A and B are shown apart, each in its own frame.
Chain A
Amino acid sequence: MTDVLLSHLSKVFALPDGQPRPALHDIGLRIPAGEFVAVLGPSGCGKSTLLNIVAGLDRSYSGSVELIGQDREEPRVSYMFQEPRLLPWMSVFDNLAFVLDGPARGRRATITSWLQRVGLAGRANDYPFQLSVGMQQRVAVARALMVQPDLLLMDEPFSSLDELTALGMRTELLELWKLLGCTVILVTHNALEAVYLADRLLIMSAGPGRIIADEDLRTRLPRPRRSDDAKIWSVARHAVGLLGRGNGGAADGTNADPGEVGVERSG
Chain B
Amino acid sequence: MLRAVSYLSILLVWAVAARLTSSDLLPGPLDTLAFARREFERGAMLFHLWATTRRVLIAFALALVLGVASGAAMGASRRADRLLEGWLVAGLTVPRIILFVMAYVLLGLSDGAAIAALVLTITPSITVQVREGTRAVDGRLVEMAVAYRRSRSAVWRRVILPQILPYVVGTARASLSLGWKMVVLAELIGRTSGIGYQISFYFQMFNMKGIMAYGLVMMVVLAVIDLGLLGSYQHYAFRWRGPSRSMGWRSE
Residues of A within 8 A of B (CB): 55-57, 76-79, 81, 83, 85, 87-90, 98-99, 127-130, 143, 147, 153
- Complex Cα distance A147/B149, Å? 11
* A87 in contact with B147 (CB, 8 Å): no
Nearest CB of B to A252, in Å: 36
- Tell whether A57 pairs with B147 under 8 Å between CB atoms, given A85-B141, A129-B240: yes
Nearest CB of B to A157, in Å: 13
* B148 in contact with A81 (CB, 8 Å): no
Q: Is the interface of B mostly helix, strand, loop or mixed?
A: helix
Residues of chain A contacted by B38 (CB below 8 angstroms): none
Known: A56-B147, A147-B148. 17 other contacts (CB 8 A): A77-B147, A77-B149, A78-B147, A79-B147, A79-B148, A81-B143, A83-B140, A85-B144, A87-B159, A98-B150, A98-B158, A127-B239, A129-B240, A129-B241, A130-B242, A143-B148, A153-B147
B162 contacts the other chain (CB 8 A): yes
- Complex Cα distance A147/B144, Å? 14
Residues of chain A contacted by B240 (CB below 8 angstroms): 88-90, 127-129
- Complex Cα distance A98/B150, Å? 8
Nearest CB of B to A139, in Å: 12
Nearest CB of B to A259, in Å: 27
- Tell whether A129 pairs with B148 under 8 Å between CB atoms, given A85-B140, A98-B158: no
- 1/0 contact string of B156-179 vs chain A (CB within 8 Å): 001100100000000000000000
- Complex Cα distance A55/B159, Å? 19
Residues of chain B contacted by A79 (CB below 8 angstroms): 144, 147-148
Nearest CB of A to B139, in Å: 10
Residues of chain A contacted by B238 (CB below 8 angstroms): 89
Residues of chain A contacted by B150 (CB below 8 angstroms): 98-99
B223 contacts the other chain (CB 8 A): no
B107 contacts the other chain (CB 8 A): no
* B241 in contact with A88 (CB, 8 Å): yes
- Complex Cα distance A153/B238, Å? 32
- Tell whether A87 pairs with B242 under 8 Å between CB atoms, given A77-B149, A99-B148: no
- Complex Cα distance A99/B141, Å? 13
* B242 in contact with A127 (CB, 8 Å): yes
Q: What are some 24 contacts across the A-B interface (CB < 8 A)?
A: A56-B147, A57-B146, A76-B149, A77-B148, A77-B149, A78-B148, A79-B147, A83-B140, A85-B143, A85-B144, A87-B141, A87-B159, A88-B240, A88-B241, A98-B148, A98-B150, A98-B154, A99-B148, A127-B239, A127-B240, A128-B240, A129-B240, A130-B242, A153-B147
Residues of chain B contacted by A99 (CB below 8 angstroms): 148, 150
Residues of chain B contacted by A153 (CB below 8 angstroms): 147
- Complex Cα distance A91/B156, Å? 18
Closest Cβ neighbor of B162 among chain A residues: A89
Residues of chain B contacted by A127 (CB below 8 angstroms): 239-240, 242
Nearest CB of A to B11, in Å: 41
Nearest CB of A to B233, in Å: 14
Residues of chain B contacted by A130 (CB below 8 angstroms): 242
Nearest CB of B to A83, in Å: 7
* B148 in contact with A87 (CB, 8 Å): no
Q: Which of B108-146 contact A (CB under 8 A)?
A: 140-141, 143-146
Residues of chain B contacted by A83 (CB below 8 angstroms): 140
Nearest CB of A to B151, in Å: 10
Closest Cβ neighbor of B158 among chain A residues: A98
- Complex Cα distance A83/B239, Å? 22
Closest Cβ neighbor of A91 among chain B residues: B240
* A81 in contact with B144 (CB, 8 Å): yes
Residues of chain A contacted by B140 (CB below 8 angstroms): 81, 83, 85
- Complex Cα distance A104/B169, Å? 31
* Candidates A55, A98, A129; contact of B242 at CB < 8 Å: A129
- Complex Cα distance A76/B140, Å? 20
Residues of chain B contacted by A143 (CB below 8 angstroms): 148
Nearest CB of B to A118, in Å: 17
Residues of chain B contacted by A89 (CB below 8 angstroms): 162, 238, 240
Residues of chain B contacted by A128 (CB below 8 angstroms): 240
Closest Cβ neighbor of B147 among chain A residues: A79
Closest Cβ neighbor of B154 among chain A residues: A98
- Complex Cα distance A143/B241, Å? 21
Between A76, A79, A147, the greatest number of chain B beta carbons within 10 A of the residue's beta carbon is seen for A79
Residues of chain B contacted by A81 (CB below 8 angstroms): 140, 143-144
